Amino acid sequence: MSVAVLAAVAIFFILVFRMLNVSSQPQKPLFFCKDKQFLNRVLKFAPQLEEPYVPTRLWGFSGHVQTILYSVFGRVRCPCPKGDRKFLMIDDGTTLTYDLFKPTFYEPELEDITVVVVPGICNSSESDYIRTFVNYTQNQGYRCAVLNHVGALHNVPVTASRIFTYGHTDDLHLMLCNLSEHYPSTKIIIIGYSMGGNLVTKYLGELRETRPISVIAGISICQPYDALKATGVLLNWQNFRRLYLYALTEAIKALILKHRSKLLTDDIKEKYSLNEKDIISAATLPELDDAYTRKVNNFKNLHEFYQWSSCLYYINNVKIPMIFINSRDDPLVPEDLLIPIKNFAKSKDNVLYMELMHGGHLGFFEGGFMYPNPIAWLDRTLVSLIPGLKEHCGDDMKKTAVY
């Protein structure tokens, strides 16, 4: 073998090793929390958080690989939990659905807890990572309810002239109200993934006249917090972000075109001044939002729409305990977007921000050399956070009663 060939092989492996970041080591999560009592309560019930997160050795230290594998495969050995689909007819004609999953066992001493799951963009209860988490949560004795974003289910048609969007929280509110009616004694913890994390945080910070008192805490995972800044960042080619933006754009566009018989009728196009050619040709999310989403949501421009959509502009009004989780190697959410949430967690009680060095965007695969454990670090961690949140909220309610 010639020296040139050996050199080319060596360069190839060097590039692969750099891309996979194999020289990196497992690290402990970093915590940003003004309220030390809250942090200690969480760690009491989730002591594994004080241990390093160990990604899959061969490829788990690469945020890109974690993100791509999550988006393509979801999770390994994905189960199929059986649930009941609930249908809610809304005044605007929308068919809203959520799936309800009962715990696989009942412990009389366990308090009635319902874990409400708000999936990421274009996702639903049928997404692999949601099914895996639901199954694991059921097996720990908790009831689960998963919001299906309007338009995301394959076998549920769109019955009104809208699908989900980043800042529309009314669907979540109606689901929570319906759950509270059917389970008046339950306590609800809401968990949101990516866009779902934004919806959860925005909903809890909105100044609504009523909100179910059964909602005691929220958890947000891998969200960017500010759509105004996030879309600008994703337009850059740095760290291949433009490619991820393209994938998101095509996913939303595919849903719009799939339901075009309801979303793009002649009456709807005339009412909102929609140009179908502009929607089809949109190459980036801002282009698609400018051609379609902000118009059907009655916003004059993208700046106004993105500001309305972003939880960062509502977060100061959140009253119940919140935990935020992000990874530093998330290719969709660069570190600059995490500064506001760090500062927020360091300035307000009952708020914890947890930052991991690795994990990518919603990946957090764990263990093994090449083949990861069936249960991801994220699933284990989320379930372990529930008892601490429940106990902390219980103590807060006792203090309120005393005073």
Task: Using the structure block, give the residue that is written with the tokens 């506001």.
Answer: 340
* Beta-ladder partners of 351: 322
Q: Indicate which residue of 171, 289, 329, 330 is catalytic.
A: 330
Angle subtended at Cα 85 by Cα 179 and Cα 248, rounded to the nearest 5 degrees:
95
- Tell me if 163 sits within 8 A of 256, measured CB to CB: yes
Q: Indicate which residue of 62, 124, 161, 194 is catalytic.
A: 194
Amino acid sitting at position 261? S
- The per-residue DSSP string of 146-175 comes to EEE-TT--SSS---SS----TT--HHHHHH
Q: Indicate which residue of 259, 358, 361, 392 is catalytic.
A: 361
d(CA 284, CA 217): 34
Instruction: Decide if 194 is catalytic.
Output: yes
Angle subtended at Cα 294 by Cα 207 and Cα 265, rounded to the nearest 5 degrees:
120
d(CA 159, CA 123): 18
Q: What are phi and psi of 386, to 5 degrees?
A: -60, -50
Instruction: Looking at 183-298, list the stretches that DSSP marks H as alpha helix, in order from N- to C-terminal side.
Output: 195-205, 227-234, 241-258, 260-263, 266-272, 276-281, 285-288, 294-296
Instruction: Decide if 149 is catalytic.
Output: no
Instruction: Decide if 361 is catalytic.
Output: yes
Task: Using the structure block, give the residue that is written with the tokens 């969007």.
Answer: 165
Burial, 298: exposed, middle or buried (Cβ in 10 Å; 0-12, 13-18, 19+)?
Answer: exposed
3-state helix, strand and coil shares in percent for the chain, rounded to the nearest 5: 45, 15, 40
Q: Which two tokens stand for residue 52?
A: 């390093």
Catalytic residue list: 194, 330, 361
